[in-house]
Chain A
């Protein structure tokens, strides 16, 4: 498959046409039909899907193309290597293209920061491509305009600008690693030396730790301080993968990589720790100081609670084991002094697990003149202000000031993917092209570069930032393709074309050699000023796990993706420890006014186990003032609480009940296991009863002819990142139902991640359990369906036949795992809607009144089996991957053929940790689990 050029794709024309049903259109005759015809078919199919087959359908058209199908014939499937931008960093990805439409983002196995996996947010970017409310054409003073108008308007400015060598021009961008964009910006600054360039990002400063990078595959002890290294970090996938591999190697021993976490508010990372200590920020300094004395061998200072000193004792014990390599990772939201403490820690115990990485993001670019504050100062005297990509009018503690300042500037331009708050404050808004529809380039956190190639012709008139910057400088448009090639011609030098092609095919280019930054090599142990216990509550402000700084607010998949700790969708909450809530007589759902300094927000309280007493946590990304109807005004805007000086922590907060309540759109209502044996936990080396041990039953064993598909999910690996949910949603055309329907408990995700809190409230641990369809061999659902719409396949799949279902919902009642989903209302995306273009053409879209559920991605199984049959061989192990399996960063999910004893899944089923969920019911599930391992050495109460 050549990946030299973007896909030849015709602009979408979605006028539905009376025609045959969906599946025929989707599968029977694709050849020679232009993509738009195909889309028409798909569109019309939905219109007809609701009708019973009692109309005599007119015969519809077959098409003879004018030209023979040549190079541009549309194959069933293509993969293009590209990368998903993650706050300026590249996350390597393959985009899966079905019949010419990008439908799925998968990890790029060759990419060091993705390793074939992809996180939930990055996968959801495919939906943003088709977001109908993504900015499509330039706007002037919030009225529709076009590029010619802007070109004209700028050419006037351009001459003046050239004369005064860029004086009174202020440009604000987000920090980026894109060589082309940086090159263009530098070129502009060279041509106009008077121009000022500023950068702003509302996300934590991931470059704070300079060139220091940890390599967990070398560490024996990991100590995280308020860090979400495994989820909210540019190289999260690499780290969690390394971590899990180290852990998996030693499931049967107490040795191996041990982990300790010190944090105030729970993170997915902290919850993976063997021991986790949740204390408010003002206690953390004390804990760390006492650790320092430990390491210095000085006498222990007192003043620690029993839990704290226990934590210190055990951590110090692990660190001082002979030859133990211990690394400490500090969250970017933590104060700088704690980072310096960590540097000392790493210098002493972790040297061998530290790597130096090239600093490639433009944060500390010498040509840059500062951040948002400096930008605002510059605006006072500026005549032309240009904001590229960033949205400071919403995503910053200075939002209001920014809006004011921008309004005062005579000529303001905003370029971004949506006409957001900043666009509202600017005169001109230019649509930025989605990364899947234009050329660009980015570098990974670890330095490897990726050339981003478009997967489809632009759906709108968007243009890449590099193009825009180039135009601003030269006044002439040059295609992003040319700009990127110009950049890389200089890098790749001779044999450019060949290198270029390989780069596009592999999606990775080697990193430049890293130079350690010139910090002093020895790090003294700093004595941390134990902050005086704050009066009132400490308010912790954090980037949202799904919406980050709010930029994804209009992405319905991310809005409806259950937040890891609360299962909350469509809104944020004030997270609070049970003790604090009790003191103030608050219950979950009470609307409270949360004050910090003069700022305040109003939001519902959510009592969160594992939250340290004395602090509340609010997440950014809510309360958008200008967004599409998906993201508009969801939840509250936590930027209001941010203090420009220390944006992530704010002392002296208070919470006051308003007397009103709010109903939560949460996909899970009950977080206790009620003493049921659902998520099992064993000690290293312990053995569980075999899954395939005969259950007492009167039913005959299910015949296993040919393939016997099965799945195994490793609960010791799963850390609850939700990647599987989004992957499934994209692969299987799973609809979004909206907040009201979630409140009514009608969400449609085929795989859900059940979450249970164990242990006492403050130090509670969170265990995760992904639950897809169990594909029971004795499936209770099949017995009760009156029309045989769900029946067993010869390969052990529990087939769900949508077009036979009449919707009695008996199967859903009788499913002990409650994995069946029902279309209570018409949840289908409209046939003429843009997101519909991203639908997977080989998966039927379910109409109202029909049951649906996980199919083990039967469409992938069919494709794989057919391919194997045509080649006259059996399907190889690992050849067929389910969507959830493919996305999982830690390889928790394994799918394969049970009748092949050598297959990965068979081996897992024989694993001593293997067990079946609710096996006492005798359903004989094909989906089984591997129990969690509690590595806490005996004696210590379970961490």
Chain B
């Protein structure tokens, strides 16, 4: 039976501590959650993602009040009711659209930061895996959300992507119809993606975020040198007042203060885009109502899916599907493909550094080619070579890291 002080007044610190361990929570999550000092602003990307997810959630709530998930009503509920009738409806819609695009920019920066500094290695594998789970969940959330305005791009992207599930030579057309709930994307299709977007996937995302934080707590975040930090020693130094000598800082308020500054800069960019420059996130093609009898001249996914889309495109149907699957899996299994024991930034890891920049540039080229019309022969060729290169990046990493020299860690 826990000890309860009769004199403790309700809702005071002591009273709450006795009942929910408030002080322990504060220490573990905030004031004694130690973060290495040797980090840069890229370490704030996680918080920015959490903030952006929160913004998407809140703007989504107001859109949800007026959106009608019915193929006859959806387009006008968004483009008439929300955009012109609802007080500040246009603001929530712009915030939601721009937010959905920017969240992926930050996700990619966050991912590549992890790859560069080796934050997926020894002890942090689960952080990486739960993070990849979040990437997949956010991708599903973005895809399902894009269906909802029921514009031309919503319909035809839905048509093309669900067609993928026919599995090439497997010809699983029954499966495609089952997924859609109909022969073509229609009312059943819209309402089930509405359910996914508004309830199921957000719940999954929230669960994965909790897991992501949970897997982060014990290994602690990485640092710019990949160094092993004796947290007990450094924590003791800090608490004794020797802040300069300590290698760590507390999450709250020190690390948080830097996080918030970086967030401020991010929000300036975010809202500039919301008010003045949003066509990259709200493609004009989707302002034409969905028409099952008229295909737009150019169908393309949102920019963050383009690299995957391009791996699919250059090959024949079956080869493309296999290549597509392999490319997604390669990222997921990164911690296990990398055979080197070195936890260090890329610039200290010899060939790995070259591998990193080749990967980044290859993905940017794939992204660009995914948008460009494949009828142009030059673009088609570049796309083919970039896709093949990407497929070799996994095996290349395996080989490079087997032969990587072990870095002797100094004191």
B is a partner of A: no
